[in-house]
Amino acid sequence: MKTRLIASVALGAAVLVGTTGCNLIAPQATTIPYSASDGVNVPADSGPLDVRNALIVVDEEGTTGNLVAAVVNSTSDPLTLRVEVGEGSSAVRSSVNVPANRTLSLGDLSDDVEPLRLDGIDAAPGTTVPVYFQSGDGQGALIQVPVLDGALEYLSTLAPTPQPSGSLTPVGGLPTVTPTPSATPAS
C-alpha cells in the first residue's frame, strides 16, 4: 500500500515538474523590455533625457524626414538632446532643447511642437537608419530607428512638407520690383 502511495506521489510530482518546469529555466516574456509601438525607445546610457517611440517619417522621395519622438527631461535643468542621423561625413546633425521637468513631444502639432526636420537622409520607408542620441554627460547611444512614410492616416500629418524656395512669386497682380545696380557706389 505504501509503495502505491509513494509511486502515485512520485508520478504526480513528475507530471507537475514536467508541465511547469519550463517556467523555471525559460525567460518570461513579460519581463523583457521592448518598444510597443512603431518607434523605438533609446537606452538610458544616451544621457539623462529619455527618448521614447523614436521614428522617422519620410517624404515620397525618402530624402527628407521628420524625427518624431517623445523626449522626457525629468531633471531640474534644461538639457539639449544631440541627434546625428547616418554615419561619417554625410551625417545630418541637429539638436533639441528640452526645458526642465518637461516632456517634449516632437511632432505634437496640437502643442505647436514641430518634428525635427532631417534634410538629406536618403532613407526608404520600411528600412532603419542609424541615429545617435546623446544628452548631458551620457556616453550616447546608436540606435536603428525605423523609417515610415505618411501613408498611414495617423502619420500623414507628420510627413515632411517641401520647404519654400528662395524666390518670391507675385500675388494678386502686384508688380515685381527688380533692383538695378547703381553706376557709382554710395558714399
Quote the strand ranges of 18-176, DSSP E: 50-58, 64-73, 79-85, 92-98, 102-106, 116-119, 128-135, 141-149
Asked if 158 and 147 count as a contact pair (C-beta separation under 8 A), the reply is no
Residue 18 lies in a domain: no
Confidence band, pLDDT 50/70/90 cuts, at residue 12: confident
Q: What was the pLDDT predicted at 74? A: 93
Residue 75 lies in a domain: yes
Residue 178 lies in a domain: no
Q: Which residues of 153-165 are buried (b: 16+ CB within 10 A; e: fewer)?
A: eebeebbbeeeee
Confidence band, pLDDT 50/70/90 cuts, at residue 88: confident
Least confident among 44-48, 52-56, 98-102, 111-115? 111-115
Q: Does pLDDT of 118 surpass 90?
A: no
Residue 106 lies in a domain: yes
Q: Does pLDDT of 146 surpass 90?
A: yes
Other beta carbons within 10 angstroms of residue 127's beta carbon come to 14
Report how far residue 39's alpha carbon sits from residue 124's, in angstroms, rounded to the nearest whole number: 15
Asked if 56 and 42 count as a contact pair (C-beta separation under 8 A), the reply is no
Of residues 90 and 61, the one with the higher pLDDT is: 61
Residue 16 lies in a domain: no
Mean pLDDT for the chain overall: 80
C-alpha cell at 90: 554625410
Residue 142 lies in a domain: yes
Could you say which DSSP state residue 39 is in? Answer: S
% of the chain with per-residue pLDDT over 70: 79
What range does the domain containing 96 cover? 39-158
- Grid look-up 512603431 returns 38
Residue 169 lies in a domain: no
Task: Please tell me the total count of domains within the chain.
Answer: 1
Asked if 85 and 129 count as a contact pair (C-beta separation under 8 A), the reply is yes
Write out pLDDT tens, residues 23-61. 667 777 777 777 777 899 998 878 899 999 999 999 888
Q: Which are the contacts of 132, defined by CB distance < 8 A and separation ≥ 6? A: 82, 83, 84, 85, 140, 141, 142, 143
Of residues 166 and 58, the one with the higher pLDDT is: 58
CATH number at residue 62: 2.60.40.1890
Residue 135 lies in a domain: yes
